[in-house]
């Protein structure tokens, strides 16, 4: 069974990805399962994909340097996009940051409640998600397609009393069709992206097997590989 390591310390994100992996013949491990000193990654990208790539490369390099393991490692990132806000005002990847301040879960709920209030108490929003998978030192796979984005949802000004660690904005998220808080449903805004993530891993394995077969043919014929740069694949549907 192929092992994939999730480069995140967010327990909520790990649980989401465990649900993604359930139907797959793959094993998910957390980077926290390994005895290594994790870097303080500077998520300085301007898009979810840039940040996912920064994290995946940093964690993969750390794991290789500090342990004997060399498993595929991936990281994800997301950005929040709210209808009606200017491009400058969009939270994007800086969901937790307002100005120079990083918000706590409670501060996030208060801030985004005030944003919804500006639009009469509710406004349509969605999360755009991205993933970067470092398969090995020669293969990097990136993706930020619509099929791994969340469903549109309503961001409302009145928070639900229930809080979910790691996903504070679920308290302000309402299902558009039913008008119910996601915290009262068995689904979350991100849940519709699970099959998209599964398809990403399926397509990666197909692509990886093709690359491995090609490399085997090259090595068997004793032909030198002239390009030492990693294969960076943007997986588009």
CATH number at residue 198: 3.90.950.10
Kindly state the percentage of the chain with pLDDT values over 90.
58
Q: What is the pLDDT at residue 217? A: 42
Query: Between these two residues, 92 and 214, which has the higher pLDDT value?
Result: 92
Kindly state the percentage of the chain with pLDDT values over 70.
87
* pLDDT tens readout for residues 18-47: 999 999 989 999 998 888 887 788 888 889
Q: How far is CA 134 from CA 13, 37, 63, 88, 217, in A?
A: 18, 19, 12, 32, 23
* pLDDT tens readout for residues 118-153: 999 999 999 999 999 999 888 899 999 999 999 899
Instruction: Output the pTM of the full model.
Output: 0.80
* pLDDT tens readout for residues 86-97: 998 999 999 998
The residues near 89 (Cβ < 8 Å, ≥ 6 apart) are none
Q: How far is CA 27 from CA 5, 21, 204, in A?
A: 8, 7, 15
Domain carrying residue 26 = 2-234
Total domains in the fold of the chain: 1
At CA 142, angle to CA 140 and CA 148, rounded to 5? 145
């Amino acid at each position: 069974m192929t092992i994939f390591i999730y480069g995140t310390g967010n327990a909520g994100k790990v649980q989401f990805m465990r649900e993604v992996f359930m139907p797959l013949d793959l094993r998910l491990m957390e980077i926290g399962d390994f005895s290594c000193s994790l870097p303080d990654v500077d998520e300085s990208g301007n898009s979810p994909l840039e940040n996912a790539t920064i994290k995946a490369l940093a964690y993969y390099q750390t794991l290789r340097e500090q342990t004997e393991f060399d498993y595929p490692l991936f990281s994800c990132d997301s950005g929040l996009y709210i209808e009606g806000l200017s491009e400058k005002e969009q939270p994007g990847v800086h969901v937790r940051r307002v100005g120079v301040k990083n918000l706590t879960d409670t501060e996030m709920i208060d801030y985004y409640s005030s944003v919804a209030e500006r639009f009469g108490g509710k406004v349509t929003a969605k999360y755009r998600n991205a993933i970067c998978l470092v398969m090995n030192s020669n293969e990097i796979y990136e993706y930020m397609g619509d099929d791994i984005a969340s469903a549109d949802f309503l961001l409302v000004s009145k928070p639900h009393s229930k809080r979910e660690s790691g996903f504070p904005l679920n308290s302000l998220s309402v299902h558009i069709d039913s008008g119910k808080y996601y915290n009262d449903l068995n689904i979350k805004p991100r849940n519709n992206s699970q099959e998209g993530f599964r398809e990403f891993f399926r397509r990666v394995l197909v692509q990886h097997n093709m690359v491995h077969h090609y490399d085997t043919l090259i090595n068997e014929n004793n032909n030198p590989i002239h390009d030492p740069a990693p294969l960076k694949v943007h997986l588009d549907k």
